[in-house]
A and B are shown apart, each in its own frame.
Chain A
Amino acid sequence: MVTLGHYLIVSGMLFTIGFAGVLLRRNIIIIFMSLELMLNAANLSLVAFSRFRVADGLPSYNAQVFVFFIITVAAAEVAVGLAIIVALYRARQTTHVEDINTLKF
């Protein structure tokens, strides 16, 4: 029997994979993909909660509208972020975060 807890644990595992990717990888594009993994892990738990909270025989659609907004904002974020990465690559010819340390103390 699959319970709410199973979905929350899977969502937590996906978030942890994304988190580890952000912490461990040094390629800025892979870091960006890991950010997407973390956003989607949050979406999974939101949808699981929406299915869990049944009213009048229907899932609570407020959470699904929220997920819809998150997906829209994430798509806009990807477009802007990749444009910034391209601009950075033009200026520095690298996507390795250890080569981009002007602001490092």
Chain B
Amino acid sequence: MSSFIFWFFAFLMLVFGAAVVINRNPIASALSLVICFMGLSALFMSLDAFFIGIIQVLVYAGAVMVLFLFIIMLLDLRVEKLRKINYVAVIGGAAVALAFFLQIYFVVRQLNAAQQPFPALTAKTDDVHNIGALLFTNFNLPFQIIGVLVLVATIGVIVLSKRELR
């Protein structure tokens, strides 16, 4: 595991993640989110989780973000007009987020396992085979429930998208 890959892609992911929040144009935000997910998928691959990395690019960068861009263009959202900013709310929100991060930071810092490097992989990793085998043996019931969930979501989206809601 090369540490250069980690630092480069972690930096890329965090910069474009921040760009999602900072950009005022929704399309620029959506495109930044695509690059952020690309960096995240590279981080997954640096952790030897190649299957999850590929799935991340296919599902998020491919399907989900196209859906987002489609909806943004369908609703014809422009750069939003600047409204009166409620400074108390902004400062309060930023303070809550910062306090949350500091909590995570101090918990991770005093965690003993977090200081140790990753143990080496000795066997040949065969992600797709191993995950697929687990999916159809140990996790068979959750897998089928997920299938029903996706079906319900599809029907729900069709019902929600009808012109008349009754």
Contact = CB atoms under 8 A, between A and B. Distances in A.
Nearest to A72: B146
Interface residues of A, number: 72
A4 B116 contact: yes
B26 A27 contact: yes
Contacts of A54: 118-121
Contacts of B40: 14, 40, 43-44
B122 A57 contact: yes
Nearest to B2: A2
B121 A59 contact: yes
Which label, helix, strand, loop or mixed, suits the secondary structure of the B interface? helix
Scoring B37, B49, B101, B115 by chain A CB atoms within 10 A of each residue's CB, the highest score goes to: B49
Interface residues of B, number: 82
Contacts, number: 230
A37 B33 CA distance: 8
B113 A4 contact: yes
A69 to B, nearest CB: 6
Most B CB atoms within 10 A — which of A23, A43, A48? A23
Contact of B63 (A10, A67, A75, A96): A75
A31 B13 CA distance: 18
Contacts of B100: 15-16, 19
B88 interface: no
A33 interface: yes
Interface string B78-117: 0010010000001001101110110011001101011111
A36 B125 CA distance: 29
Interface in B126-166: 127, 130-131, 134-135, 138-139, 142, 146, 149-150, 153-154, 156-157, 160-161, 165
A20 B97 contact: yes
Interface of A: 1-10, 12-21, 23-27, 29-30, 32-34, 36-37, 40, 43-44, 47-48, 50-52, 54, 56-59, 61-62, 64-65, 67-69, 71-80, 82-87, 89, 95-96, 98
17 contacts: A3-B117, A9-B105, A13-B101, A15-B100, A17-B20, A37-B20, A52-B113, A57-B122, A59-B121, A64-B52, A65-B135, A71-B56, A72-B59, A72-B146, A78-B64, A83-B157, A96-B80
Q: Which 3 A-B pairs have the closest CB atoms?
A: A5-B114, A57-B122, A57-B123
